[in-house]
Structure 1
Amino acid sequence: MAPYTPETSAVELVADLSHEIAGKVILITGVSPGGLGAVFAETISKAQPALLILAGRAPSKVQQTVDAITKTHPDARATPPAAEVNGWADVPAIDVLINNAGVMVSQFATNHLAPFLFANLIMGKVIPATAPRVVNVSSDGHRLNPVRFDDYNFRGDETYNKWYAYGQSKTANMLFALSLAEKLGQKKGLLAFILHPSVIGTNLGTHLDWEADIAGLHAADKVFGNEEGWKEFTFKSPEQGAATHVYAAIHPELKDHNGAYLQDSHVADPWTDTVKPWGTSPVEAERLWKLSEKLVGQEFSF
């Protein structure tokens, strides 16, 4: 199997890994049509997973993706979200959870606390799987800020910067996966990964005024001395962006890399890829876990 490249598509990954995908139960959040979650779900359905559970904030948009999958691939089983997923007797285990939902330039709650709470609440369905995995979709946007433990909510508007807020939330996605790998790796056999899908032209940032906001993004990068502050972005297609979703969710070679940060369908190299140390610190990960428990009002021990 040749090494994957930034141009590799999800279709190519699914072709390589179809035997690993077949029969698995996979839950994906954030599956609005045109987004990476929908592209991942539609592509992976060709390899006959046992069940795809599609979850999102807008039931009508989830249903559109469900319909697209079942119309094109009638043998695939796609199910809209259900609050009572823990009570589904016919789904004894979820093999892979993909925390894909999120929005651009958002604060803590949507991009971190929501997947933190959701994943922990359904962990009783994930752990019983033969080889359970949790995948958090982050971004190299984590370069824009560590977690601001003493000012995570930006004092209302007092210290708020949309790009710093986004960077913090993406760093939090990374640290959450590190915590899962540490807490449930050896104890329960859980694999947890973080991925950067690259810059994709999806509906994720449709609420942004890119002509105005790109200057703010470059300015934020320059504050940290990031090279992204002085260069143009290279875009991938959604099909190329979803390739790393498939790699993170399925590829067997990742069993020896629990907690890894992935991009372009490989384990990222901090010497050549954008991987900030504040996103890979076990100390920061534990601090975030404790803060997150406090903010959601519930403790999780496994």
Structure 2
Amino acid sequence: MFDATATSEQVIGTFASQIKGRTFVITGAGKPSIGSQIATSLAKKSPAHILIVSRTVKKVELALEDVGAIDPSVKTTFVQVDLSDHDSVRRAAKEILAAAPKIDVLINSAGNMALKEYSVDKQGIEMQLSGNHVGHFLLTNLLVPALLAAGSETGLARVVNLTSSGYQISPFRFNDYNYSGGKEYDPWTGYGQAKTANILFAFGLAKRLKSCGVTATAIHPGYNNDTQLGSHLTMEDYYGIFPAMKKNTGKDFEFEEPRSKTYTQIAATTLIAALDPEIPEKSPAYLANS
């Protein structure tokens, strides 16, 4: 139905009935980001409620202004969270459940990439693993009651984890996820481990909850230079991917085409995972290029 060049507009046009009247929770949707593109795309087809769960108020306000300009009748809620702080995640989960006792789709899109310096969160967990996976793992589990409430009615509640083709760089380091206190840390290995964790989490979640009407999918959105994810990196920094993967796996990294997607194309695969009626039966799954 879609190919690698699919746009958000094409996806929401095809699956408009899967948006109308439903509740969507999106993490990390400050503008500009994939999450903000997802939110504004959904707003065009009459969702009941869009909740944005993010850290930076000013960036989220811009996204919510865009949603309001598209359709002022769409209910919007902002819940502030620091995914690397588990107390913050627990507080945010309570606010989300109070605002949305039923969640049709949870899209975990917040994240970081290739942090150059080794650092840990308040709990002592390496920061890329913390921000990309562990915070989402905790938040998603705390929101399961609302997902089950929606799933019991429609059988179609979904969790979508944004991962990356960067998962190729490193398997999950079960015996040393904290890099021996930083001694073994490499920015791209850290990213690869975290993105692998996103996929493993989607797999495990679907296995546990599919019978209850909740499915999970991991998606690689593609490459785009307009979001802020890699704003701290130079082109030379990206060359570090190749030796890191070779060291970790013995294999060579392969980019898929297209090498760069437009802003509207970068959200398409996520929207397919969130809306396509055929996806739940196929989950757990990994999607790329639509």
Q: TM-score, normalised by structure 1?
A: 0.81
Quick one: which of 65, 71, 81 aligns to 2:79? 81
Paired residue total: 260
Say which is worse superposed, 233-242 or 11-20, in terms of deviation.
Answer: 233-242
- Asked if the contact 1:92/1:128 (under 8 Å) is kept, the reply is yes
Question: Is the 1:39–1:238 Cα contact (8 Å) retained in structure 2?
Answer: yes
Partner of 1:190: 214
Q: Residue 156 of structure 1 corresponds to which residue in structure 2?
A: 181
Residues 1-302 of structure 1 aligned to structure 2 (within 5 Å): 3-81=1-79, 83=92, 84-88=94-98, 91-106=100-115, 107-129=128-150, 130=154, 131-186=156-211, 188-201=212-225, 202-208=227-233, 210-223=234-247, 224-228=249-253, 234-265=259-290
Structure 1 stretch displaced more, 113-122 or 100-109 = 100-109
- CA distance in 2 between counterparts of 1:67 and 1:193 reads 29
Alignment CA distance shift 1:231-1:53 (3 Å):
closer
Write the deviation string for residues 32-56 of structure 1: whole angstroms up to 9, x where unpaired. 1111000011011100001000110
Distance 1:53 1:169 in 2: 24
Task: Answer yes or no: is the 8 Å Cα contact 1:139–1:170 preserved in 2.
Answer: yes
Q: TM (normalized to structure 2)? A: 0.85
Amino acid at match of 1:96: V
Root-mean-square deviation (Å): 1.9
> CA distance change for structure 1 residues 256 and 239 in 2, over 3 Å: closer, same or farther?
same
- Cα drift, residue 183 of structure 1: 0.9
Runs of 4+ in 1 over 4 A off after TM superposition: 229-233
For structure 1, list consecutive stretches of 5 or more residues without a partner in the other structure. Answer: 266-302
Deviation at 1:125, TM superposition (A): 1.1
**Alpha-carbon distance in 2 for matches of 1:221, 1:6:** 25
Contact 1:46–1:76 (Cα < 8 Å) also in 2: no
Unpaired runs of 5+ residues, structure 2, are: 81-91, 116-127
Q: Percent identical across equivalent pairs?
A: 35
Question: Per the alignment, in what secondary structure is the counterpart of residue 101 of structure 1?
Answer: coil
CA distance, structure 2, for counterparts of residue 94 and residue 230 of structure 1: 34
Q: Partners in 2 of 1:199 and 1:61 — Cα distance?
A: 21
